[in-house]
Every structure is written in structure tokens, then in C-alpha cells.
Structure 1
Amino acid sequence: MATPASGPARQGHPFAALRHRGFALFFSGALVSNTGTWLGNLTVPYVLYQNTGSAVWVGFAAAAQFGPALLLSPLGGLLADSLDRRLLLLWTQVAMGGVAVAMWMQWASGLHSPVLLIGLLTLFGIFNGLNNPAWQSLVNDLVPRRDVLSAVTLNSLQFNLARAVGPALAGVLLATMGATWAFFFNAVSFAVVVVTLLFVRPCRTVVKPAHRQGFAAQWRQAGSHLASSRPLLLAVALCCLAGMLSNPIFSLTVVFAETVYFTDTVGLGLLTAALGAGSVVYALTGLLAGGRRPDFARRAVLGITGLGIGHMLLSVLPGLGWGLASAVLIGAAFLAVMSTLNSVIQLLAPDRLRGRILAVRHMAFSTSVAAGSLAAGYLTDAVGVQTTCLLIGVVLLLAGAALLCLPRVTALLDRAAAGEKESPGPNSIR
């Protein structure tokens, strides 16, 4: 049964993970599929805001998409540790593609009910809760440990390339062909990743336990390991901070475009794409820079501080041009935080517990995103989107300053890079 090596994590050639056929295929299929998903992620809040004129409905949409992970991620993590992760992904991707087809058919039929659309998003979120732990775990299985940092960063790169291209395509489609075609292309994109997964093979095999314990016992194992690892707990907590405070901006771009910049759907697409473009710039810069030992603590703290500055600039600078520049900064800072924390979690999670540890991360992150999106929606309707964005920026900046004053706490993140292990507590698992 494979376990993390004890040596330090080193980043060799930045694109080393693409040398492995399985990861290269997975990367390509995921890029197409996520482009379609981000096309849908902009289309849904756009049509909801157009039909209702309320940011609260936009918040409900985000909560519906991410909220079900609170209930389903534990099962998804257990399945990822017990079953063939590739086959599990095949079934969940087929199910998510089926929901995307239902969204397209709903809109094409003229049944533009916000309640029905939210219901379909909730169903999508249920399958995504089962899907995400296996997805994140499979990334690690497709490369040897020496290329894990490359794989995690490239996985973030493809996701954010999609986040840059998808919304831009959505803006053009919404302006020229309408929401029905945007929903259609989102549905088609799922077929690409399903076909890709048919040909993907992991480069190493994680042996599944011959005698499985019950659901509660297996989760006690994962919980005990997580509770005994302060670096893992800190990484999950900072993921929640970024998810709750910063992730709502990806939905609030619709409100900025309508009420602040008074732009059309192309401008909306550019504003949302700028968030993805910033992430791409950061990812490419980090990949090309390389380095022998990543400084996780510094990246996380600077990323959270950058998120605060970006939100504050977005709230006060006038004009769409400044809005695009601020969005690029937010996108780069967001990826700095999330790719860093995801790398820490991947490096510290044992293979036998990886699916469950990543399920905890996804469950906590999704819950924080759902809560933050609902709160941001209500606050936007009450005080306006610019004031809401300013308040978010202030809180993030204060959080970054607090972390700068606690170097001994943030240094825990660098244990993943150094290959250090904490002294096991009474409940830790060898």
C-alpha cells in the first residue's frame, strides 16, 4: 500500500507531469470539460439575475451548486478510497453530464423557472460531492510522487485556463446566440472528459484494503489522522477562509456588470474571464520559475493579502478597464492560495486516506462557499455590490496581516515541502 515518501518535496521540470500519458490525457479532457462548466457557471447567474433582478437568487445558485457537498463528500471520499477512482469518475461525470443536458432542455423548452434551475443545480451539486474527492485523488495517482507538485499546479492551470476561456465564450454566446446554446455547449463538454477517462490509466496502483471496516470506523481513522496533523488542519481552514470570502466574486461579476459598469454580455464575459486570466498568469509564472523547494507559507500569506487588495481595488476604482485589472489581481491571488493549500494537502495525505482527507477539504470548502455566497447575496441587495466587495477586501487584508504576525503558525505549511512529520498524537495513524 503506497504511502507518502518522507523526503522533501522538490519541484523539478515544471511540466514534468505531462510526460505521463495518463495525466496528459486527463489534462486535455478536463480542460475541455471545465471550459464548458465555466461557460455554464456564468450563464446560470446571468439568466437568474436577468429574470429576477435579485442578487439573492445568484447566491442561492452558488449555494445549490456547492452546498450538497456537505452531505455527499464523506461518501465520495470513502468511495474514492474503496473503489477504482477512474471508474467512479466515469459514472459521476456521466451523471453530471445528464444534469447539464436537463438544464439545456429546460431552457430550450421555454421553461425558464428559477426554482427548477436551482433544483437542477442542487442535483448537479450532489453528484459533484461524490465526484470531487475521486477527481483530486486521481490527479495524484497519475504521476509519481516527484511530479506531484507539477501535477497539482498543472491541474490548477487547466482549471483556470477554462475559467478564462469559458466565461469569454459565454459572453459571446449570450450576446449572439442566447442562453440555450450556452447550456447546450456545456452539456456537450461532459462527453469529452467521459471519453478521455476511458483511455486514462494510473501510473501507479494504490492497493485497496481487503477487509473494509464500516463507514463510521473508516471515517474515525481519517478524522483521527486529520486531527493529529496541524499543517493539514491549517490548510483546510485557510481553504475555507478563501472560499467564504473570495469565491462569491465569481458570481457577483454579474451584478458588477449590470449595476456598476453598465456593460453588455461581452463585457460581463471579459470581467469573469479576467479572474481566470489572472490565475493563468500566476500558474504559468510559477511553473516557469520552477524551484527546488516551494515556499508554501509565503505564497499562502501573500495570496490572502493580494485577495484583500484586489477586492478593495475592485470596489473603488471606476470603469470597466480598472475592473478588469482588479479582477486579474484577484484571480492570481486566489490561485496562489488554493494551489498552495491543495499541494500541502496532497503531499501530507496518506494514500490509504487520501480520498477521505480530500473529501473533508471539499466538504469544508463547499460549505464555506455556499455560506459566503448567500451572505454576499443578501449583503449586496442591502448595501450594494461595491460596499460588499469593500468589506470583503478589508476582512481579507486583516486576515493576511494577522498571518504575517504569526510566522510560527504559517511555517506549519512548509512541513509539506520539507517532508517533516509531526510527532504522532494518541489518535494518529501510522
Structure 2
Amino acid sequence: MQLPSALTPLRHPAFRMLWLANLCSNTGMWMQNTGAGWLMTSLAPSPLMVSMVQVASLLPVFLLALPAGALADIVDRRRFLIFAQAWIAGAGTLLAILAWTGQLGPWGLVALTFAIGVGTAMNSPAWAATTPETVPRQDLTGAIVLNGIGFNLSRTIGPALGGFTVAAAGAEATFALNAVSFLVVILALVLWKREAPRASLPKEHFLSAIRAGLGYTRASPVLRGIMLRGFVFFLFAAVLWGLLPLLVRQQLGLGPEWFGIMLAAMGIGAVGAGFLLPSLRARLDRSGTVTAAAVLTGAALVLLGQATHWAVAMLAMLLYGVGWLAGASTLQASAQLSVPSWVRARAIGIYQLVTFGGLTLGAGFGGWGGESFGIGYAMGLSGVLCAVTGLLVRRYPIEAPSAELAGQAGDASPPAVPRPEPAAQSLAALLNDDSGRVLEAVRYRIDPADRAAFLAAMAACRQVRLRSGAQGWRLYEDVAHPELWVELWLMESWTEHLREEERMTEWDRSILARAAALHRGSAAPEAARYLNVMPGLPG
């Protein structure tokens, strides 16, 4: 029996095991979120305090996504994930005990929600970066979409279970079940036989890893476009999370089970969208999909803000789920596919820092708007802004031109910089992270008629150098001999220089090859490397 195309990644055993475990933990997390949101409407029933529960769960990701991504790239990823899951389980257990004994106040709920968010923040970049390790590249986009389906399937099941659990046994029961669900993930991670990539160089230092991740992001126009579009999408779409409990309770006059049902309706819409996305990709590129998702999500928020009957609200939640899944999973897939493996967790961490920053601001904006103008007005205004800004930023690219990449990868021109000589490689034990900065230089002889083409090629080379870890880059032209040029860039150490070669993709090498092809001379461009032998001096 052939699986539907949306379920194809489940044929890989490691991905299937981790996907099912993650489905369990996400279901528990949504039950806990439902219980926490509803409990706050009793402890402190103001829009601002209810939205603070969402802010407390999202803010840690904004604060910790970058260091979490760096750690996930430089330590054993499986052990790191086990630690993060154990942290969440411990914080959830404490939350359940305090709620059961009646010692939990509104700020205690916010604080422990924040603690659980810390575990989620540490877990998210590492977990997202495991997907390419469990499926081949041709199934990666489908696996990311399937992760979104699983997340929203749990969003369908979890809130409904959470709403009925709150009605039957109180919010504390949802907190306890959430803590138990993370034990399932720990077991799956223990059973996962991860094949860690072999490294010929020492592990990166924490601060160096962060600098390299930030440098890669600054030099990647596609990744910057993904983050910008993700920020504006989540900024205005996130208003729902802070205001939905009060909309159900006050505007619709319904109980906690209906809060869960509304979230389940959204999950149903998202799961349906996940199954439709493979066929939608044949008609729309990723950029068009994200734009359409922003418009649909905005329309759903406007409709929900005006709803006074449960049926209208259910329809709005279904549409919101479709838009949310289409936008979120497409942006996440673009982020993962746009970066090489060595920087993937860091890039995802930076992407999550930006997008969760939007989510945090959006949830806070929703609470302030609901307090100042009313729930319906705040949702409607956010919906309009979500659609309008989605249209305004659609010109920013979120995927590399694959056809051009394929053509460049086959370029037979020599690379612009020869690889280090074997003798130089053998010096790695001596020229290590304490060796001081390394200045690299490449000298070109360029026909003056090719000056404009060379400058364009070198602008692309600059991005390659910075993506590969360079701390600075310059291009100089000889005043007396305008055909002579020198390209200079700095690496933090000799070890970082050796990492530079490992970090380059075929696309990067083809860009360097295009610059080298403009060189005029019998030999390749001359490359040289200089070690800073007096690192204590300025400059």
C-alpha cells in the first residue's frame, strides 16, 4: 500500500519514531497551554494577564534561540535534546504540584510557564536540525511539512483533551499529563541510534560559533528575507493566542470545553492544509504560498473578531489554521533548505529568535489592544495588518534560484582559492585556536574591460567569505596598475581558516570560480595566507 505523498517521510524508521514521540509531547504541551490560559482567566481575568501566559511561553525562545542553536551545533545533539526534555518535564511536574496544592498564584503561573518556555527554547533549534539527519534531502521538505502536520494534529487533539480535562479534573491535571508526555520523548531519544558526523577539526568554541552563525546570516540575502517575512507574518498573526480564551469566555459566552474545541478547529484546518501543500507547491512557489497564507490568516482574524456565534468562530478558526500552517511550515522549510548542515541549528535559532520575537510582540500587542480597544477590534486590526504587510514584503526572496545553482555547480572553472597544501593541513596541531588571526589574500590580474563584471563577481565572493566565517573582507585595486587587484579577508584563527574549506558548498565554490575565470594569466590567481605573529598589538 502506497502512502499518500504527505506521509512519505514516515517510511524512514528514525524519523517515524521521533515524529510519533514529538506528537505525544506536543499534545501534552497543548493540553498544558489550554489549562494555563483558562486557569489565568480565573486567577487574574484581564486581557493583559491572560496574554502574559502566552508571552511567558514565547519570550524564552526569543531570548535563548541563538545560544541554543550554537550549543546544538557544537555539542552532542542527542544528549542536548534529552537534557532539554528532562528540564521541561521537571518544570511541568512542579507546576502540577503547586496547582494541586492550591499554592499557585497568577505570577507563579507566569514564572513556571516561562521555565517551561526555557526548555522549549533550548529544544527547538536542535530538534529542527535533527530532521535532515533522519531523512534524505529529497524528503526534507515533506518531512518539515509533516512536522507541521504533527504539530497541528496535536493542536487539534491537545486543546480538545485539555478543555475536557480542565472541566473534569481541573487545570492541574493538564500540567501533570504534559510532564508525563515528555518522558516518551526522552525514551525515543535514548533509542535513537544517531550517527554523529565525524569532524577532523576541534569543536568550535561557544562564542565563535555564535559569531559564525551571525556572520552567515548577515551574508545570506535569502535567509534575511525568510526572517523578515516570518517576523511580519507572526507579529500580526499571533494576536489570536493572547485573546482567544477571553473571546470564547466573554464575546461568545462559552465554557472551557469550547476553548479546546476552537483550538481543535484550527488544528483541523492546519492538518488539512498540510495534506494539500504538496499539490499546492506545483502551482505556487514558496514566496507565493507565504503571501497567500498571510492574506488568508488576516481575513480569518477579521472574521473571528466580528464573530458572535460559535459557528462563525469555528469557520474563522478553520481558515486561520490553514493560513497558519501554510505560512509557518513553508517559512521553516525555506530556512532549513537555505543553509548548509554546519550552521543549520544556529541559523534555525536565529530564525526562531526573529519569528518568536514577532510572536512575543504580537501576543503582547494583542493583550494591550484588547485592554484598550476591545477584543474584536484588536483582532480585526491585526488581521488587516497581517494581510497588508504580507503583500508589502512579498518581493523579498525566500529561496535560492535552484536552476542557476544547478548550472553553477557544474562550472569547470578553477576555484578562486586553492585548497590548503597537505603540509599546511598538518600544521593544524600547532596553528590552533590560539594562533591569532589569519589574513588571507588572493591576487588577480583583470582586463580593464572586465572591470564591471569582476566587481559584480567579487560582491558575490564577499558574501561567500562572510558566510564561511570571515570577520572582515576588503577588495583593493592597484593605483599604478589598474589591472592588478587583491582580495583580503580575516579569519579568527588557523583552525577557523581550515573550517572555511569545510563550510563551503558547491554553490559557494562556483561563485569563487566565476571570479577566478576573469583572471588573465597562465597560472591561477595567487593565494597567500599571513599569520598575526604579534596578536597583542592593535590593528
Question: TM (normalized to structure 2)?
Answer: 0.73
Structural mapping, 1:146-161, within 5 Å: 146-161=138-153
Residue identity opposite 1:186 in structure 2: N
Structural mapping, 1:94-243, within 5 Å: 94-202=86-194, 205-208=196-199, 210-243=201-234
Q: Is structure 2 residue 65 aligned with structure 1 residue 65?
A: no
- Whether the 8 Å contact between 2:6 and 2:274 is mirrored in structure 1 is no
Q: Give secondary structure in 1 for the equivalent of 2:400.
A: helix
Q: Give secondary structure in 2 for the equivalent of 1:216.
A: helix
Deviations 1:171-201 (A, max 9, x none): 1111222212222211211111111111123
Task: For residue 228 of structure 1, report the CA deviation from its aligned partner.
Answer: 1.6
Q: Is structure 2 residue 400 aligned with structure 1 residue 415?
A: yes
**Aligned partners of 1:251, 1:40: CA distance in 2, in Å?**
15
Aligned length: 412
- Map of 1:250 onto structure 2: 241
Larger radius of gyration: 2
Q: Is structure 2 residue 295 aligned with structure 1 residue 295?
A: no
- Map of 1:310 onto structure 2: 300
Q: Give secondary structure in 2 for the equivalent of 1:313.
A: helix
**Aligned partners of 2:283, 2:289: CA distance in 1, in Å?**
12
**Aligned partners of 1:212, 1:205: CA distance in 2, in Å?**
13
Provide closer, same or farther for how the CA distance between residues 238 and 387 of structure 1 changes in structure 2, counting only shifts above 3 A.
Answer: same
Of structures 1 and 2, the one scoring higher in RCO (CA 8 A, sep 6+) is 1
Q: Is structure 2 residue 297 aligned with structure 1 residue 271?
A: no
- Map of 1:391 onto structure 2: 381
- Map of 1:6 onto structure 2: none
Provide closer, same or farther for how the CA distance between residues 158 and 378 of structure 1 changes in structure 2, counting only shifts above 3 A.
Answer: same
Task: For residue 218 of structure 1, report the CA deviation from its aligned partner.
Answer: 2.1
- Map of 2:337 onto structure 1: 347
Provide closer, same or farther for how the CA distance between residues 187 and 215 of structure 1 changes in structure 2, counting only shifts above 3 A.
Answer: closer
Q: Is structure 2 residue 273 aligned with structure 1 residue 282?
A: yes
**Aligned partners of 1:150, 1:142: CA distance in 2, in Å?**
12
Provide closer, same or farther for how the CA distance between residues 396 and 110 of structure 1 changes in structure 2, counting only shifts above 3 A.
Answer: same
- Whether the 8 Å contact between 1:81 and 1:354 is mirrored in structure 2 is yes
The worse-fitting range, judged by mean Cα deviation, of 237-246 and 23-32 is 237-246
Residue identity opposite 1:139 in structure 2: T
Task: For residue 317 of structure 1, report the CA deviation from its aligned partner.
Answer: 3.4
**RMSD of the TM alignment (CA)?**
2.1
Q: Is structure 2 residue 98 aligned with structure 1 residue 75?
A: no
**Aligned partners of 2:304, 2:284: CA distance in 1, in Å?**
30
**Aligned partners of 2:200, 2:62: CA distance in 1, in Å?**
26
Provide closer, same or farther for how the CA distance between residues 271 and 418 of structure 1 changes in structure 2, counting only shifts above 3 A.
Answer: farther
Q: Give secondary structure in 2 for the equivalent of 1:212.
A: coil
Q: Is structure 2 residue 466 aligned with structure 1 residue 427?
A: yes
- Map of 1:328 onto structure 2: 318
1:46 to 18, 38, 41: 38
Residue identity opposite 1:279 in structure 2: A
**Aligned partners of 1:205, 1:212: CA distance in 2, in Å?**
13
Q: Which has the higher strand share?
A: 2
Deviations 1:370-425 (A, max 9, x none): 22211211211111110000110111121133245x4xx3xx22427657499342
**Aligned partners of 1:316, 1:46: CA distance in 2, in Å?**
22
Task: For residue 296 of structure 1, report the CA deviation from its aligned partner.
Answer: 0.4
| Identical aligned residues as a percent | 24
- Map of 2:19 onto structure 1: 27
Task: For residue 75 of structure 1, report the CA deviation from its aligned partner.
Answer: 2.0
- Map of 1:5 onto structure 2: none
Q: Give secondary structure in 1 for the equivalent of 2:246.
A: helix
Task: For residue 26 of structure 1, report the CA deviation from its aligned partner.
Answer: 0.5
Residue identity opposite 1:149 in structure 2: T
**Aligned partners of 1:313, 1:84: CA distance in 2, in Å?**
47
Provide closer, same or farther for how the CA distance between residues 419 and 151 of structure 1 changes in structure 2, counting only shifts above 3 A.
Answer: farther
Q: Which has the higher helix share?
A: 1
Q: Give secondary structure in 2 for the equivalent of 1:139.
A: helix
**Aligned partners of 2:105, 2:179: CA distance in 1, in Å?**
19
Q: Give secondary structure in 1 for the equivalent of 2:466.
A: coil
Runs of 5+ in structure 1 lacking a partner? Answer: 1-11
Provide closer, same or farther for how the CA distance between residues 419 and 96 of structure 1 changes in structure 2, counting only shifts above 3 A.
Answer: farther
Task: For residue 294 of structure 1, report the CA deviation from its aligned partner.
Answer: 6.6
**Aligned partners of 2:234, 2:277: CA distance in 1, in Å?**
22
Runs of 5+ in structure 2 lacking a partner? Answer: 409-458, 469-503, 505-539
**Aligned partners of 1:339, 1:386: CA distance in 2, in Å?**
28
